[in-house]
Amino acid sequence: SNTNFSVKLKKLGVINTKLQQYYSAVHYAESFRDVKHQTMKMHCLKCVYPLCWFCCFFVFFLHHQDVKLQFIAASYDAAGNFLQWQSLEGGILQLCPDTQTKLNAAYVFGTTYEQSCKISVSKILLDFPNPIFYDLFLEYNGENGQQHLWAVPVLNLDLQYREMYVNQGSNMNNWLLTRRFFLVDALSGKENDMGKLPRVIRVASKISISVRLVSHTQRGNIYPPLITVAYTDVLVQNPDTQSVMVSFSVNYEMNQSEAQIQTDITLGVLGGLAVLWSLLKTAGWKRRTGSSVIDLQTVLKFLLFYAGDLANVFFIITVGTGIYWLVFFKAQQFVSVFLPLPSQEKAFVTYIACAFSLKALQFLQLLVSQLTIDIFFIDWERPKGKVLKAVEGKGAVKSAAAPVSIWRTYFIANEWNEIQTVRKINPVFQVLAVLFFLEVVGFSNLALMDSSSSLTRSSDTYIAPWSRILRFGVSAALWLAIAFLQIIFFAVFYERFVEDKLNQFVDLCCVSNISVFILSHSCFGYYIHGRSVHGHADTNMEEMNMNLKREAENLCSQRGLLPNTDGQTFQISISRKMRLQYDRIHETLTRRRGPARFLDSSANTFEQSTRAYNAMNKFLSSFIDHVHKEMDYIVKDKLLLERILGMEFMEPIEKSIFYNDEGHSFDDVLYYGNETTLLIFDILFFSIVDLASQSFVLAAILTYLQQEIFRFIRNTVGQKNLTSKTLVDERFLI
C-alpha cells in the first residue's frame, strides 16, 4: 500500500537455507542491441557481396545499447518502520563518492564494476547517524508483459550460526541467506548517552553483487542476483584521523567447467599430435646427422622438438580462446556468455606462460643451430694465363699461374652476412603498428570487461577493469593480422616489383662465379650453384655486360647444375664418406684458431690456412664435377610426402643425393625461413610483459629491445662463424 509502482509483488517470504529458490531462473536483459539492428542484420545476410557482410558486421559490432539491471530497495528505519521505495541508481549502496554517471554504471548489464576508497570515520558518522535497513528486489518483465519483483538474497559473511561463520565457506549448502542488510550501524555502539559518539561502529566494508548466467541460455536467462556483504567493526577513537576502506563491486559469471573440459580435451588431442610430430622430426634429424643410435643426444633433441611443438599447441589454444571471448562476448546480440572472472583466468595465464617458456627454448635452440652451421664459398674462377714470379731467397724468376681475385668471395660473404637477419616482416613497423592500433585507434578498449564495443571512451564515463583474456585476444589478433598483411604485401608486391634479397643473392652468386656449400647437419645441408655459364666472372665492365646480354637472349647455356636446366638451389644429403673427407680438410682450415703453442709461426699459420682453403675449394669443386667416383652424387626430386614431413626417406650410403629445390629452402639457416617461430616468440613476449605490467606501451618497448638484442647477437656471432668456416677476413665484412 506504500508503493507507487505498478508491479506484482511475488510473495517469497524469508529465504531459507535451501537454495532452490536462489537457483530459479529469471529471464532478464535479452539483448544488448535493439530491434532495428536485428532488422539490419537480416538485410546484411541477404546481401550477396562479402564486403557488405564485413561492413555490416563491423557496424553491428561497434553499435551498442546499454541495458540496465533495475534494482529497487525497500528501506526501513531501526524500529522496522517502512520508509520508502527507491532505485539503487544514484549511489544508494555505494559509500565512495563519484559522479552520477560513474555510479550508475554499476548497474549496466554485463559491465564488471569495481569501486574502492578510504572514507573518514567522521564523514561516516555525519552521513549515517541512524542505521537504514534495505530489502533489495530485482524488477523484470514477465512473459505477459507485467512487471514483477524478485527478492534478492543476501549473503552476510559475518553471520554466525552455532558459533560458526556459516557463510564464509565455499559449500553453498551450508549458507544461511537473509533478506535485510544495512550500510552503517552507528546506533548499536552507543553505550550510555545517545547524544555521544558511539564506541564502535559497524560498516559494510565490502558489498558485491553477483549475477550468474543460466547454462546454455540463448536469451539472457540469469539466476537471481546474490548480494554479498562483509562488515568491519571500527573502534571510534579519533574520528577526524581514522578511516576505513570500503569497496563496491558488481560481477557477472557463468559456469566455466564445460569450457575448461573442452580446452583440456583440445590440449590433450593436440598435445598427442605434437608428440607424433616431434618423433617424426627426431627421426628426420637422426637421418640427417647420419646416426642410427638412440642416445642421450637424441632424447634431448626430441625434447627440444617437443618443446617447440607444444608451445605452438598452447599458442593456438590461447589465441583461439582470446579471440573467441573477444568476438562472442563483445558482438553477441542475445546474452549467451559472460567473461571468466579474474580467478578463472589463472589457467589461461598459465597456458600463456608455458607457451612463452617453451617457445623461448625453441628460439634459443634455433639461434644456436644457425650460429654453428658449416659454410664454404666455392670459387669456380680459373687463372687467366701465367705470370712471372720471383723465387724467394734464390733471386730466380719462374712462371706461375695468374692469381685469382679474392674480392668476389669477399663480396659474396658480405651479401650473405647482410641477409642473415632479414625477415619477411619489418619488426619496427610491426611493433609501432600494433601500438598505434591499440593506443591511438583505441582497440585496447575492447579489452575492458563491459559489453561496449566502442573504440573510444569518454573521460567522464566509468572505465571497467581489464580482462587478461581480452587483452591477449586483442593484442594477438592485431599482431597476427598486421604480420599477415605484411607477409602478403612482401610476397605479392615488394619481392616481385622492388627487391627479392634471396633470389638476388642466388643471381649474384652466378654472376660472381661462386657457389655456396652449406651444412646445417652432419650429413644434410644446402647447395647454391653459382658457376658462371661464361667460364669467367673476373672481367671488365664491357665483357660483363656482353655476357649478361648473351644470357638474356638465350645465346648461352642455362645456369642450372644439370645441363639444360635452371635449377640452382638444392637440398643435399651427403654420404658419410663425403662428410669425413670434408671434416679432415675443415680441421686444417680452422687449425689456425687453436692455441699458439701448436703453431710454428704466423707465416706458417697463414700458409697452412691458405693451403687448407685451396684444398677445400678444390675438393668441393671436384665433388660437384663428379670427379670422385667413390663420393659421387645423384640429382632427383623429393617425393610429396618427403616435402610435407620435412625428412628424407633414402639414406645416402653409396652416393650423396641432391634434391631439386624449386624455392630457396636454404633460408632455413637464416631468420627469413623461420618467420613463424620468430613471430610467435614476439607475440608471446609482448603478451607476457603486458599481462605482468598491464601496459601495452612498455610491452612494445621491451619487445623492440629484445628483437634488437637478439638480432645483434645473431649478426655478431654469425659473422664470427662465417669468418671461421670460410677463412674470409672479418675486417672485410662491413
Kindly state the average pLDDT of the residues 443-451: 92
Confidence of residue 42 (pLDDT cuts 50, 70, 90): very low
**Residue where the block lists cell 599482431:** 479
Picking from 150, 147, 69, the residue whose alpha carbon sits closest to that of residue 108 is 69
Give the least confident one: 56-60, 237-241, 433-437.
56-60
Residue 41 has pLDDT above 50, yes or no: no
Place of cell 613463424: 676
Q: Where are the beta strands (DSSP E) in 106-146?
A: 113-120, 133-141
β pairing state of 524-528 and 633-636 = unpaired
Whether the pLDDT of residue 207 is over 80: the answer is yes
Q: Between vectors from CA 475 to CA 472 and to CA 477, what angle results, nearest 5°?
A: 100
Cβ-proximal residues to 87 (8 Å cutoff; 6+ apart), any chain:
70, 71, 72, 73
Among the ranges given (86-95, 120-129, 238-247, 534-543), the one the predictor scored with the smallest mean pLDDT: 534-543
**Long-range contact pairs involving 674-680 (C-beta distance under 8 Å, separation at least 24):** 674/366, 675/423, 675/424, 675/425, 675/487, 677/308, 677/359, 677/362, 677/363, 677/366, 678/363, 678/423, 679/425, 679/479, 679/483, 680/311, 680/312, 680/315, 680/359
Bridging pattern class, strands 386-390 and 374-379? unpaired
Q: Report residue 145 as a C-alpha cell.
A: 508483459
379-391 tens-digit pLDDT: 998 877 666 666 5
User: In angstroms, rounded to a whole number, what is the distance separating the alpha carbons of residues 657 and 634?
Assistant: 5
The angle formed by the CA atoms of residues 354, 328 and 681, to the nearest 5 degrees, is 25
Q: Provide the percentage of residues in the chain whose pLDDT is more than 70.
A: 86
Joined together, the cell numbers standing for residue 180 give 535485510
Distances (CA, A) of 314 to 353, 500, 679: 9, 34, 15
In this prediction, residue 29 carries a pLDDT of 42
Instruction: Report phi then psi at 545, rounded to 5.
Output: -65, -35
Residue 6 has pLDDT above 70, yes or no: no
The set of cell numbers assigned to 289 is: 646427422
Task: Assess whether pLDDT exceeds 80 at residue 640.
Answer: yes
Distance CA 455, CA 439 (A): 10
Q: Tell which wins on pLDDT, 335 or 716.
A: 716
Q: Which residue has the cell 609501432?
A: 432
Mean pLDDT across 228-253? 93
* Whether pLDDT at 76 is above 70: yes
Nearest to 273 by CA among 220, 310, 245: 310
pLDDT confidence bin for 333, thresholds 50/70/90:
confident
Residues sharing a CB contact under 8 Å with residue 250, sequence separation 6 or more, in sequence order: 106, 107, 111, 112, 113, 208, 209, 211
Q: State the pLDDT at residue 336.
A: 86
DSSP symbols for 362-385: HHHHHHHHHTT-EEEEEE-----S
The per-residue b/e assignment along 543-566, b for 16 or more CB within 10 angstroms, e otherwise, is eeeebeeebeeeeeeebbbeeeee
Q: What pLDDT shows up at residue 390?
A: 60
DSSP 678-708: HHHHHHHHHHHHHHHH--HHHHHHHHHHHHH
Question: d(Cα 547, Cα 205) in Å, to the nearest integer?
Answer: 88
CB neighbour list of residue 63: distance below 8 Å, 6 or more residues apart: 33, 37, 453
Q: How confident is the model at residue 395 (pLDDT cuts 50, 70, 90)?
A: low
Please count the other Cβ atoms lying within 10 Å of the Cβ belonging to residue 151.
20
pLDDT band for 441, please (50, 70, 90 cuts).
Answer: very high
Q: Residue 669 above 70 pLDDT?
A: yes
Tell me how far apart the alpha carbons of residues 568 and 570 are, in angstroms, rounded to a whole number: 7
Identity of residue 344 = Q
C-beta separation of 425 from 679 below 8 A: yes
pLDDT at residue 392 in the model: 58
| 242 class by beta-carbon count within 10 Å (0-12 exposed, 13-18 middle, 19+ buried) | middle
Among 289-293, 652-656, 718-722, the minimum mean pLDDT is found in: 289-293
Higher-confidence position of 568 and 170: 568
Q: Which of 284-298, 553-567, 590-604 has the lowest mean pLDDT?
A: 590-604
Most confident among 394-408, 522-536, 648-662, 684-698 (mean pLDDT): 684-698
Q: Summarize pLDDT for 15-32 with one digit per residue, the tens.
A: 333 333 333 444 444 444
Helix (H, G, I), strand (E, B) or coil at 663: coil
Tell me the DSSP string of 373-418. Answer: -EEEEEE-----SEEEEEPTTT--EEEEEPPPPSHHHHHHHHHHHH
pLDDT of residue 599: 43
pLDDT of residue 403: 75
331, HSE (Cβ side, Cα atoms, 13 Å)? 15
- Residue 45's pLDDT is 37
Q: Which residue has the higher pLDDT, 612 or 40?
A: 612
Query: Using 50, 70 and 90 to split pLDDT, how confident is the model at 184?
Result: very high
Angstrom distance (rounded) from CA 266 to CA 269: 5
Q: What is the pLDDT averaged over residues 434-456?
A: 92
Strands 200-212 and 226-235 turn out to be antiparallel
What percent of the chain shows pLDDT beyond 90? 57
Q: What is the mean pLDDT of residues 357-378?
A: 95
Compute the average pLDDT of residues 320-347: 89
More confident residue, 366 or 18: 366
- pLDDT at residue 268, as a whole number: 94
Element (H, E) at 234: strand 226-235
Grid coordinates of 719: 659473422
51-55, 218-222, 293-297, 535-539: range with lowest mean pLDDT: 51-55
- Predicted pLDDT at 603: 52
**Of 137-146, 332-341, 435-444, 496-505, which one has max mean pLDDT?**
435-444
pLDDT band for 659, please (50, 70, 90 cuts).
very high
Secondary element (H or E) of residue 206: strand 200-212
Band of residue 343 on the pLDDT scale cut at 50, 70, 90: confident
